[in-house]
Amino acid sequence: MEQKSARIAVAGASGLIGSALVRSLTADGHEVVRLVRRAPGGADEVRWDPEGGQVDAAALAGCDAVVNLAGAGVGDQRWTEAYKRRIHDSRVHATAGLARAIASLDEPPRVFVNGSAMGIYGETGERVVDESAPAGTGFLPELCVEWEAAASPAREAGVRTVFTRTGLVVARGGGAWGRLFPLFKAGLGGRMGDGRQYWSYIALHDEVAAIRHLMDHDDLSGPFNLTAPEPLTNREITAAMGRVLHRPTLFAVPAPVLRTALGEMAGDVLGSARVVPKRLLESGFTFAFPGIEDAIRAA
């Protein structure tokens, strides 16, 4: 944030993106209030129930911004009906609870940054999509639509509301790349399926910088794709991983094997999402690691 000693509440502060954002904010001298599901471990933590949509509005009083990055990991488990419900509730109910709490404050924060995902567009094939594209169909697109709609109470209360439609985050500590790095370092990496599906990625550094950019600019609201400017195919990304890590990329995982191993979630791996950050670029944001090899090295 531009002003010093801003007070910022972060939900999902222990996740891959949330923990990196908290480090960035605290390094710049800001006061961060972490919303946690366990008993608070200090004065900077507040307990909440994301899946139940319960949060004490008083804990958000005096905050300049609220950032919601909470949600059960999409790739953490096979998509049973029970886990799909958890994925849903940990996003939709959490967002609704925060939005209601924000709307109830006499002096609400000036911005509510709510996580979302590029999964809202569904399967795009080779078609390039920006924020003006309609939502796709299926579990993830329909979830994202409901997720963003859950923030309505804050927006209707006049709070500037931003949705970060994040792509695949290139980071060593988690997400898709957290699983890819060990495989490729062991020489077991390779394309998935035919490798022609587009992967829209973003370096963790740029993800955090983009969130802070959206927090800082009072004229920005609505959806923003947080993806690098030029998506690449899985085949191209596989080759880049091999070059950077100096490992062969001979192994390929056939689509039927992925479907057997991952179930319904395999569609997210094999699907193509050619998503570009049109609004983010138009807002003047500059990527530090726009290319895939730079993003991999940064991780």
User: Would you state the pLDDT for residue 1?
Assistant: 43
Alpha helices in 105-218 (DSSP H): 139-149, 152-156, 175-185, 204-216
Query: Which pLDDT value is given to residue 96?
Result: 97
Question: Which is nearest to 99 in space by CA: 61, 63, 57, 141?
Answer: 57
Angle CA 211–215–219, to nearest 5 = 120
Residue 74 to residue 60: CA distance in whole angstroms: 27
Give domain limits for the chain.
7-298
Q: How far apart are CA 201 and CA 150, in angstroms?
A: 26
- pLDDT the model gives residue 140: 92
Amino acid at site 101: A
**Count of other CB atoms within 10 angstroms of residue 272:** 19
Q: What is the pLDDT, as a whole number, of residue 61?
A: 93
pLDDT of residue 73: 86
Give the rounded distance of the alpha carbon of 66 from its chain centre. 15
Question: What DSSP state is assigned to residue 119?
Answer: G
Q: Name the fold adopted by 7-298.
A: Rossmann fold (3.40.50)
Quick one: three-class SS letters along 71-111? CCCCCCCCCCHHHHHHHHHHHHHHHHHHHHHHHHCCCCCCE
Q: What is the pLDDT along the chain (299 residues), one digit of tens a residue?
A: 445 689 999 999 999 999 999 999 999 999 999 999 888 888 889 999 998 889 989 999 999 999 999 998 887 777 889 999 999 999 999 999 999 999 999 999 999 999 999 999 999 999 999 999 999 999 999 999 999 999 999 999 999 999 999 999 999 988 888 888 888 898 888 888 889 999 999 999 999 999 999 999 999 999 999 999 999 999 999 999 999 999 998 888 766 765 665 565 556 666 899 999 999 999 999 999 999 999 999 99
pLDDT score at 77 = 77
